[in-house]
Structure 1
Amino acid sequence: MIVTRFAPSPTGRLHIGHAASAIRAHDVAREAGGRFLLRIEDIDGTRSRAEFIAAIEADLRWLGLTWDGPVLRQSTRLDAYAQALDRLRGMGLLYPCFCTRAEIAASLSAPHGGPDGPVYPGTCRHLSAAEASARIAEPHCWRIDMAAAVARTGPLRWHDASAGDIPADPLAHGDVVLARKDAPASYHLAVTIDDAWQSVSDIVRGHDLFAATHVHRLLQALLGLPTPRYHHHPLLTDANGKRLAKRDGAPTLAALRDSGLDGAALAERLRTGRLPDGIATASA
Structure 2
Amino acid sequence: MSLDLSRVRFDRAGRTIIDGVDATLPSGALTALVGPNGAGKSTLLHLIAAIERADAGELHFDGRSVPGMRRRDRARLVALAEQQAEVDPQLGVLAAVLIGRTPHLGAFAAAGEHDRAVAERSLEAVGAREFAARPIGSLSGGERQRVTLARALAQEPELLLVDEPTNHLDLAAQLTALELLAGLARDGLTVVAALHDLSHAAAYADHVIVLSAGRVVVAGDPREVFTAELVERVYGVRAQVVEHPLTGRPLIAVAAPAASSLAPAAVAEAALTETRA
TM-score, structure 1 normalization: 0.31
Structure richer in strand, relative to its length:
2
